[in-house]
Amino acid sequence: MHSLTPQKIAVFNSLIDKADVVSIVTHVHPDGDALGSGLAFKHYLEQVRRKKVFFWFEDNYSHGLDFLFTAGETEYIQSLRQDERKYRKAMQNADLLLCVDCSGMSRTGDIQKIFQGTKMPKVLIDHHLSPDAGSFDLCFSETEISSACELCLQVLKAMPDIDGDTAKLPMRCLTALLTGITTDTNNFANSVFPSTLTAVSELLACGVDRDKVLEHVYNEYPEGRLRLIGHLLDKGLTITPEGVAYMVLTRKMLRKFQIEEGDTQGIVNLPLAIKNVRVSILLREEIRQFRVSLRSKKGTSANRFAVEYFHGGGHENAAGGKLLIPRDIVFKGKASSYIEKSARAFFEKEDNQ
């Protein structure tokens, strides 16, 4: 664990000491790991270090993650969203910026603009490939780890006031961490390392309610999500000869099945259950672009596919990107042929290596 040296922890600890107000940011379209790692630090900084904390993220999250927030917090976030100037100013005047679960500020969306040129120290805690370490004063980055939440737990445990004792962390912090580890490993189906199970074992020993996390995250979807999955798998799934499975989720479908932001999470994993599928791609229609999610089986790089054909990246077997209209395809009806062409080119290269 080379990113977690005592020197770096000491620097981070003194940056926290010197700060009264801390801003935390994470990636757009936040998932369980993004919210979990941001909230874990929020609760630690507020309850253990007595700091004022602003945690901000663009877009809404899946309803299954609502339980991470109290009703008052949700209301507060909504009120801030209505008064953009207020939160922008508050975040901009912070003494320390913490960026979690993204490889750099460019992944945080619009919010990045307000931190450009600001002088406050900036710290990155992340587990993606190729982090933008140069833009941060301090960087904790590991890729051989399940999630940002697992890395956050290691950093938090190394803090002098926690001193290796997970039980000293607030319960809401621990619940947030378990949520991120659970969702980023797809409920312990991928990216599980020995350290992951050790971390989770500690969280459970401290009394985190895993049943409650699972119930909220996996068993509270709206009905439309399951019906949409049925529709997509039956009518909208194509598998190329190279083993690339793809599905295109149109705005019309989202409307028909009453699907909200966040409710499509996990759908991209499903085609990997098919024997000859090596990569699964889900396109989601937006304005003048498709948002792209990619998953791959071991031995095939979703990251490389995303970098080469979708202006994106992420992890070796889970990545994301965009398909731009008209830059990549002339109109949205060309998405299928773009994927099929990319699949051929990608595997021609890959299989010749």
Binding mask 91-110 for Mn ion (x = CB under 5 A): ----------x---------
Report CA dihedral (43, 45, 50, 53) to the nearest 10 degrees: -80
Give the position of tokens 């000869």: 241
- Of the listed pieces 141-149, 168-176, 241-249, 304-312, which binds Mn ion according to CB under 5 A? 141-149
Residues 88, 84: Cα–Cα separation, whole Å: 6
Residues 279-338 that bind Mn ion (CB under 5 A): none
Under the binding rule (CB under 5 A), the answer on residue 184 touching Mn ion is yes
User: Does residue 148 belong to the site contacting Mn ion (CB under 5 A)?
Assistant: yes
Residue number, 16 or 148, with CB nearest to Mn ion = 148
- As measured in angstroms, the least distance from the Cβ of 152 to Mn ion is 10
Q: How far is the CB of 276 from Mn ion (least distance, A)?
A: 28
Q: Rounded to an integer, what distance in angstroms lies between the CA atom of residue 45 and that of residue 51?
A: 6
Which strand ranges, in their side-by-side order, compose the sheet holding 52-56?
Answer: 52-56, 21-25, 96-100, 122-126, 138-141
Smallest distance, Mn ion to C-beta of residue 30, A: 10
Q: Which of 3, 9, 32, 33 binds Mn ion (CB under 5 A)?
A: 33
Q: Nearest approach, Cβ of 185 to Mn ion (angstroms)?
A: 10
* Smallest separation (angstroms) from Mn ion to the CB of 184: 5
Looking at 17-25, 178-186, 189-197, 291-299, which segment touches Mn ion (CB under 5 A)?
178-186
HSE toward the beta carbon, residue 93, CA cutoff 13 A: 8
Nearer to Mn ion (CB atom), residue 146 or residue 240: 146
Asked if 267 and 227 count as a contact pair (C-beta separation under 8 A), the reply is: no
Q: First and final CA of the chain: distance in angstroms?
A: 31
Helices within 133-209 (DSSP H only): 148-158, 171-184, 194-205
142 binds Mn ion (CB under 5 A): no
* Shortest distance (Å) from residue 37 CB to Mn ion: 7
Kindly tell me the sign of the dihedral angle through the C-alpha atoms of 227, 244, 338, 59. Answer: positive
* Residue 263 lies near Mn ion (rule: CB under 5 A): no
With CB atoms as reference, the residue minimizing the distance to Mn ion is: 33
Residue 150 binds Mn ion, judged by CB under 5 A: no
Q: Which is nearer to Mn ion, 129 or 237 (CB)?
A: 129
Q: Give the interface segment with Mn ion, choosing from 153-161, 162-170, 184-192, 211-219 (CB under 5 A).
A: 184-192
- Could you tell me how many residues of this chain bind Mn ion (CB under 5 A)? 5
CB-based burial, 292-331: b 16+ in 10 Å, e otherwise:
bbbbbeeebbbbbbbbbbbbbbbbbbbbbbbbebeebbee
Q: How far is the CB of 31 from Mn ion (least distance, A)?
A: 7
Tell me the residue type at 31: D
Q: Which stretch binds Mn ion (CB under 5 A): 26-34, 198-206, 225-233, 262-270?
A: 26-34
Q: How many CB atoms lie within 10 A of CB 93?
A: 12
Q: How far is the CB of 188 from Mn ion (least distance, A)?
A: 15
Please check whether residue 253 is in contact with residue 283, taking contact to mean a CB–CB distance below 8 angstroms: no
For binding to Mn ion (CB under 5 A), which residues are involved? 33, 101, 147-148, 184
